[in-house]
Structure 1
């Protein structure tokens, strides 16, 4: 197999392209997050309804992943990712020209479907084009790009909303995304190890049954569901206490709070390397433990500790996601990698939608303390499930290479 060598020009071009693709995907996907409390005030809606601006996009993404998984082996990976990024950018611009929140939510749902073509194919592309010994490091860089993308979108939207309004902010973000998408299309090397092949519906169903019959993969899917859900829950609703008394943070200052996601850039690369050296079972448990500490820190009434808690949440989440996503590529057989990656992301964004939205209900009825209790229970469950996933030797060893 002709794989991309680390340090080569193809490696650098791939890294740049994936970075830009991640920025577009996650900047657009999570751009309304710093605006959720503003939406509640402007449109007089509940936290859960305002949070639907993120949840509906991730529901659309989850649906799109199902569709993509049926055609991913037939369509050129580069073309599919490029089309996804370009259409997402155009929809992001269109979303800025509506003043009806219901119509805005419809476009956000469409954005979720459109954007699904990048993340599902990106992981399959990396798993095909790089040697298994380098997957932990390469996936770590890709996940780092997702944290940078989310950061860029949230900061740009927060600052520009204070300067102008949220519609102008989304327009500027959409135009920048369109530019990055064109660069991605030009820079990404073509696939070396992908051969288009037709897959019948029967074969797709057989692959689906196979992936769900593997307890290691199912455990990783459920772990991703819970980790992503808790992470999005905290970021969706932390704006309510921070932009209210006694803190009264402005949209600009609150937007810059998401700088803490840069810690995710560090942790994803660090834990990706750790996963290549040590038992993934123990590395992911450490990541979830760090995430739990961050969640509990947000209970503090002291502003510094509350913000530090969000930072620790970001560090722990991206660490866990880096390990789990790389683990899926190793646990799945070669012929099941694309669908396994899509299913991982289906659960991942399903957690963002369902758990993130349900957190708004807990917050509305039981306050911040009640929501944090709910999040803590989910994280304990995630640790137990991840250990369940490690029950199969195949998930801990990279196809006999000795990498753990």
Structure 2
């Protein structure tokens, strides 16, 4: 289906174009996180199949997120030439094809190479999505749209982990990753059918010096630096929890089956709900206040996860997941709004820091887990989120209490 351009300059919540855009970006987020994190559900199976330690197996996640982080800025520049929707469409379909190849990997080295390529492909969505929304939607509707987009990423994370774990327990990790690859392909098709062509995008030739200057200005703004740090720290915490919680639940103390662990990953739905809900809370109470609330919520969840009972772990995972996605939604929409006012390349830099958190912070989390078990993970992730809370308080004092576009 050919996308149709809408002449109105900025789409508002409730309009047909707004609904199409949010559905399309929801599908894009779902596809991206399904492809990116389905592997996370089968890390114990990769350890068994290839004789790997938990830290080594987690490289299947870290190399993809690291490649994604590196690919964000070049693909941002490419989208300035060929268009936002073109880059996102190619990204989704190529990542679906690479997901199939990952499932067919003959050894772990080939799997890692393919995951690097997949991470670069997925960077096309992460580089462009926030910029596309900021360009095409009215400022007052951006918070809700960003919340729904992040909700799609939350559902994708849940789908990848849940489907991956359940199929892995029945048919093995290759069939698990093949099944999630099919889901990403269906999402890519839905995106292409639904997306609205850019009405406010103006193509321009590559301007390396201008792009570097825009990035440099973003890195000198204290408000944006604080938000970049928050994204890095939040993702470091979150990916550590989900990389290694499966090992904990399968091991001594809990000894759950793979199917039960997969069902536990269903609590990822909390991220979908909180992301969709937080947009309206941001519009009402402001980003500074809501970043504090969501960071504190995430910290409470981390402390619950450290307890020894399964009930406490499940509740803690629900609270951690909901708090993380809400905090990420607040921070990412804040970066988009502030970058638009300052005329800097803030959104792509935020994505770079965010996925570096997954790659670097997640790898460090693996070393902590191997050395100190879940107790070490609790201290490590709690310290990360406590730092986010401090940053959020400082940002509130620096930028004011109201979540305006200039904040």
TM over 0.5: yes
Secondary structure at 2:80's aligned position in 1?
coil
CA distance in structure 2 between the aligned counterparts of 1:391 and 1:199, rounded to whole angstroms: 38
- Give the match for residue 310 of structure 2: 303
Aligned: 1:248 with 2:255: yes
Instruction: Please list the CA deviations of residues 323-367 of structure 1 after superposition, one character each: whole Å capped at 9, or x if unmatched.
Output: 101101111135736x21111110011101111110110111111
Matched-pair contact (CA < 8 Å) for 2:30–2:155 = yes
**Gap regions ≥5 residues in structure 2:** 1-7
Instruction: Please list the CA deviations of residues 228-251 of structure 1 after superposition, one character each: whole Å capped at 9, or x if unmatched.
Output: 110111111001110112322222
Matched-pair contact (CA < 8 Å) for 1:331–1:394 = no
Matched-pair contact (CA < 8 Å) for 1:389–1:395 = no
Offset at 1:295? Answer: 0.7
CA distance in structure 1 between the aligned counterparts of 2:335 and 2:342, rounded to whole angstroms: 13
CA distance in structure 1 between the aligned counterparts of 2:205 and 2:398, rounded to whole angstroms: 31
1:377–1:360 Cα change, 3 Å: same
Offset at 1:397? Answer: 4.3
CA distance in structure 2 between the aligned counterparts of 1:176 and 1:188, rounded to whole angstroms: 18
| Aligned pair partner of 1:261 in 264, 268, 275 | 268
What root-mean-square deviation, in Å, do the aligned CA atoms of Structure 1 and Structure 2 show?
A: 1.7
Greater shift in the superposed pair: 68-77 or 110-119: 68-77
- Give the match for residue 213 of structure 1: 220
Secondary structure at 1:295's aligned position in 2?
helix
| Aligned pair partner of 1:357 in 352, 363, 369 | 363
After TM superposition, list the pairs within 5 Å mapping 1:243-392 onto structure 2.
243-334=250-341, 336=343, 339-392=345-398
- Give the match for residue 61 of structure 1: 68
Greater shift in the superposed pair: 42-51 or 234-243: 42-51
CA distance in structure 1 between the aligned counterparts of 2:224 and 2:401, rounded to whole angstroms: 8
Matched-pair contact (CA < 8 Å) for 1:216–1:390 = no
Aligned: 1:83 with 2:83: no
Aligned: 1:37 with 2:44: yes
Offset at 1:174? Answer: 1.4
Matched-pair contact (CA < 8 Å) for 1:132–1:398 = no
Matched-pair contact (CA < 8 Å) for 1:330–1:395 = no
- Give the match for residue 147 of structure 1: 154
- Give the match for residue 107 of structure 2: 100
Secondary structure at 2:82's aligned position in 1?
coil
Matched-pair contact (CA < 8 Å) for 1:47–1:237 = yes
CA distance in structure 2 between the aligned counterparts of 1:203 and 1:376, rounded to whole angstroms: 39
CA distance in structure 1 between the aligned counterparts of 2:249 and 2:326, rounded to whole angstroms: 26
- Give the match for residue 131 of structure 2: 124
- Give the match for residue 169 of structure 2: 162
Instruction: Please list the CA deviations of residues 127-174 of structure 1 after superposition, one character each: whole Å capped at 9, or x if unmatched.
Output: 111111111111111111110011111111111112211112212221
CA distance in structure 1 between the aligned counterparts of 2:23 and 2:405, rounded to whole angstroms: 29
CA distance in structure 2 between the aligned counterparts of 1:306 and 1:237, rounded to whole angstroms: 13
